Amino acid sequence: MYLVETLFDSHGERLGLELVAGRAGMSRQIKVPEAHRPGLSLSGYLKSHAGKRILIFGKVEIEYLYDLDPQVRVERLKALLETDVPAVIVARRYLPPKELHKLCEKYQIPLFRAKQTTMNLLSKLTLLLTEEFASSISLHGTLVEVFGVGVLIQGDSSVGKSEAALGLIERGHRLISDDVVKVKKREGSYLEGFGAELTRHHMEIRGIGIINVANLYGAVCVRDHKNIDLVVKLEAWDDHNFYDRVGLDENASDILGVKIPNHILPVKPGRDVVLLLETIALNHRLKAMGYNSAKEFNSKLLDLISTKKRKKIK
């Protein structure tokens, strides 16, 4: 549940908000991550008006209200504010009409003044609300950037996730988060991973303890957030399991409704896990460029088989 009070406490200073009325309604819930200018709704046409959104009054809206007869002004504002509005913001530090002030107090709707221009305020507020309402989840694993590819390394405890990430960092790649990765869905189409502020740039290595990667390897080896492009699950090698040796089958993990390519990487003494992770990342980049080694190999193999069959027939 996201409240007007939460928005004001978290972003009020950034947006330049000043509360002028409706303090009793600070606990009102913001139900949708949207804000809009009332525009045509002020003329009394509410057929297509969508309630539940924060209202922003700019220069045009304020001047239009002042041009109305006081009684009509009250009727129009009353009809607008009865649509479950969470808050009202007047941009450019304009003085809100006294009728708007009184109605906000009556309906317990927070009324703010903002320093910013109307469009600038609308854009920033929309971005902030979209960020706050984005779907999120916390995952166990280590997120690293390998050749520009965001790789989420997962696996059972003590399988070697942090050690593999440390090896990648030593080769010049970047750490985003170790142990716990917070993931947010952006624009409904991609995932962004980041770490908690307390553990940011830190890793836990068994036998050594907590290390600060930024201090040990330099600021160039860390970053705060990265898109998640790949999921690699490390698991102990099992001779009874069948592991794909061609790569034609492409698996995917579903995280917050987004499909992310998934690889299972068996580990055992003698296997260079760091090199294999680099290879997976490079191969992913090639696929993104339209080149698939496995499919090309399979195509050549089928062509060779077809050619040999034709020769036998002749």
State yes or no: is 308 an active-site residue. Answer: no
Among candidate residues 93, 3, 83, 68, the one with its CA nearest the CA of residue 36: 83
Q: Which of 179, 223, 225, 287 is catalytic?
A: 179
Catalytic residue among 23, 98, 140, 259: 140
Please state, in angstroms and rounded to a whole number, the distance separating the CA atoms of residues 201 and 139.
17
Tell me the residue type at 10: S
Contact 193, 176 (CB under 8 A): yes
Tokens of 56: 């922003």
Catalytic site residue from 53, 73, 113, 161:
161
Alpha helices in 176-292, H assignment, sequence order: 213-217, 273-288
Out of 245, 310, 311, 314, the active site residue is 245
179 a catalytic residue: yes
> 4-15 and 118-133 helices cross at what angle (nearest 10)?
130
Annotated catalytic, 233? no
Distance (Å, rounded) from C-alpha 175 to C-alpha 163? 12
Taking the alpha carbons at both ends of the chain, their separation in whole angstroms is 75
Catalytic-residue membership of 140: yes
Catalytic residue set: 140, 161, 179, 245
